[in-house]
Amino acid sequence: MTPPTHYAVEYAINPWMDTSTPVDVRVAHAQWENLRQTYLALGHRVDLVEPVPGLPDMVYAANGGFVAHDIALVARFRFPERAGESRAYADWMSSMGYQPISTRHINEGQGDLLMVGEMVLAGYGFRTDVRAHPEISAALRMPVVSLELIDPRFYHLDTAVAVLDDRTIAYYPPAFTEAAQQQLHALFPDAIVVGSADAYVLGLNVVSDGLHVVLPSAATGFAAQLRELGFEPVGVDLSELLKGGGSVKCCTLEVFT
């Protein structure tokens, strides 16, 4: 995780961002700290990445790359406003003992790359270039399933899909093309289908350890669906971070060992 020390909405690169809406950095930091403490209370380890001045979106650590087993893939961002984050996250990966791998084409890390068991679901359409998917598959030595996003409100895959365990996902069908919806249904016929009310508060932007699902507290309908299936939803308020187009998962780069 990266503290929101320099967090601000200084530009608009997704539909959630409105430069005319003020951001309270004090509240954002308190909400972010509550998320960090939630992870610690659930028994997880949280490493911190040093925030860099001039990179207000760096708080959305998930976009910094993809780390699984002995492989660390660093992001290549679409927008120049975020380009500097690649170096910051590569430096962190190096400090952790990894040798960061870059892709030739644009990839926005765990924003568009979600591991489910021994495969990776990979989004494209707004940020990550589909041409990066074969590169990613080769680097990670894992199969990659390409899924096209069509609603700009769900500009990253992690806004439209939640990975709950190695076999279970939840998703919001209207975020995807018909072909992508069919792919998801074929792979996960028992997936949770989430409604618009929960999707529109980025309710699918979650982190799950297979039992506890940390999710935006406003996604009450999704929380009820999770309880019915035996998961334990843990709601957190990240309303200030939502102003930049992110929530729980966006603020969390998961490291799979």
Place of tokens 């679409």: 78
Catalytic residue among 133, 156, 212, 251: 156
Query: What residues have CB less than 8 Å from 95, skipping those under 6 apart?
Result: none
Burial (Cβ within 10 Å: 0-12, 13-18, ≥19) of residue 9: buried
Determine phi and psi for 233, rounding to 5 degrees: -70, 140
Strands 71-74 and 65-68: antiparallel
Catalytic residue among 133, 212, 250, 251: 250
Task: Answer yes or no: 250 catalytic.
Answer: yes
Among all residues, which ones are annotated catalytic? 156, 250
